[in-house]
């Protein structure tokens, strides 16, 4: 199969490319294909004629989404909708991503694909708008995958690296690490997500629509940090901080754990976050 990948320099994009040599990939850089330029997307589609488009690009710097809502909406909703339309025109399968931030966190039960959405900030609003836009224009061609707390070998440039590597760096120069205990999440390995995405794409019984794909289990960022420090055998104190789901004025969901119920029905099971983290740390730091 021919796959056009948008976002090859990102955590998930790089993991997909590193993982798979079975398919024929075309992974242009942003200068060649900018999600915000439908002409560059059209040109890539004409040139490469992919069977599948995988879009991992998004505007997901949360404070920037608050201060630049027009830009956030343009990338996360309008551009993604335009790409979905293009996929429909070419009869191409469209895979794109969304976020746990479409939920408000006013629960303590994992959200599944049918749970009601209610985003708390511009980022989540634009992601939810993007989901609706894609599903309204190309429902027979589109799969939207919600995920959470990604960390990949290549860190997210827009967020200054990945969470795991940054905590390990912190431990090397800070007397202690302060970390939020007020948000419960599903931290997810980009490599595990990439594997699950490729399995889902090729699954004979997969349908279009929204899927959740995260590592199993749940923890606060504080608990996640403690586990990183423990696995790395570092000597630094981690101090829990309760910000009540707030970053300045911006609200974050206090509980955004996802349940992969549709993927599980297809037999796609993702390992527990503790096992995924241990694999990541062993491969990157302990070998
Ligand atoms: N990271 C998380 O914790 C998290 C949580 C929930 C959902 N998600 C979603 O999962 C998906 C993958 O996330 P990720 O962590 O792999 O993202 P990432 O590391 O930030 O990578 C984003 C990729 O998209 C590219 N990109 C950004 N804007 C673009 C544009 N206008 N045109 C073309 N390419 C563009 C970036 O290229 P440059 O190198 O040129 O910037 C980069 O290659 C995203 O939809 C993200 O929102 C992520």
- Give the tens place of pLDDT for each residue, 35-80: 999 999 999 999 999 999 999 999 999 999 999 999 999 999 999 9
Task: Determine which residue's CA is closest to atom 37 belonging to ligand 1.
Answer: 7
Tell whether the model's pLDDT for residue 155 goes beyond 90: no
Q: Which of 6, 40, 57 for mutating ligand 1's site (highest number of atoms within 8 Å of CB)?
A: 57
Which band of pLDDT confidence, cut at 50, 70 and 90, is reported for residue 154?
confident
CATH of the domain at 53: 3.40.50.720
Whether 284 maps to a domain, the answer reads no
Closest to 97 in 3D by CA, of 214, 226, 219, 207: 214
Query: How many angstroms from the chain centroid is the CA of residue 65?
Result: 16
Into how many domains does the chain fold? Answer: 1
- Calculate how far, in angstroms, residue 234's C-alpha sits from the geometric centre of ligand 1: 30
Q: What is the reported pTM? A: 0.98
Q: What distance in Å separates the CA atoms of residue 18 and residue 89, rounded to the nearest whole number?
A: 29
First to last CA, the chain: 34
Task: Determine which residue's CA is closest to atom 35 belonging to ligand 1.
Answer: 57
In terms of residue numbers, what domain contains 41?
A: 2-154+189-216+257-271
Alpha helix stretches (DSSP H) within 203-260: 221-232
Closest to 173 in 3D by CA, of 228, 224, 234: 234
What pLDDT does 156 receive?
Answer: 65
- Calculate how far, in angstroms, residue 186's C-alpha sits from the geometric centre of ligand 1: 18
C-alpha distances out from residue 121 to 118, 195, 211, Å = 9, 30, 22
6 lines ligand 1 (CB under 6 A): yes
Closest to 142 in 3D by CA, of 73, 211, 214: 211
Q: What angle do CA 174, 175, 176 make, to 5 degrees?
A: 90
Q: Which of 16, 30, 95, 130 for mutating ligand 1's site (highest number of atoms within 8 Å of CB)?
A: 30
Task: Determine which residue's CA is closest to atom 5 belonging to ligand 1.
Answer: 148
- Give the tens place of pLDDT for each residue, 162-199: 999 999 999 999 999 999 999 999 999 999 999 999 99
């Amino acid at each position: 199969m021919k796959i056009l990948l948008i976002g090859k320099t990102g955590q998930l994009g790089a993991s997909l490319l590193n993982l798979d040599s079975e398919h024929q990939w075309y992974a242009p850089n942003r200068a060649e294909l900018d999600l915000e330029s439908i002409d560059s997307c059209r040109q890539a589609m004409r040139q490469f004629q992919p069977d599948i488009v995988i879009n991992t690009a998004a505007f997901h710097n949360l404070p920037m989404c608050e201060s630049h809502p027009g830009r956030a909406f343009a990338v996360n909703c309008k551009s993604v909708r335009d790409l979905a339309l293009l996929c429909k025109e070419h009869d191409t399968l469209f895979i794109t991503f969304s976020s746990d931030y479409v939920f408000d966190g006013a629960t303590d039960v994992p959200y599944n694909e049918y749970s009601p959405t209610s985003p708390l900030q511009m980022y989540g609003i634009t992601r939810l708008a993007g989901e609706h836009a894609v599903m309204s224009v190309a429902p027979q061609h589109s799969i939207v995958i919600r995920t959470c707390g990604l960390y990949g070998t290549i860190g997210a440039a827009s967020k200054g690296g990945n969470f795991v590597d940054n905590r390990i760096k912190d431990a090397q120069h800070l007397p202690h690490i302060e970390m939020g205990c007020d948000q419960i999440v599903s931290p997810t390995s980009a490599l595990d997500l990439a594997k699950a995405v490729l399995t889902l794409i090729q699954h004979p019984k997969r349908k279009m629509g929204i899927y959740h794909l995260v590592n199993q289990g749940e923890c606060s960022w504080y608990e996640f940090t403690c586990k990183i420090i423990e696995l790395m055998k570092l000597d630094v104190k981690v101090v829990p901080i309760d910000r009540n789901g707030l970053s300045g004025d911006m609200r974050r969901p206090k509980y955004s754990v996802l349940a992969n119920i549709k993927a599980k029905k297809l037999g796609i099971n993702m390992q527990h976050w503790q096992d995924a983290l241990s694999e990541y740390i062993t491969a990157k730091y302990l070998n």
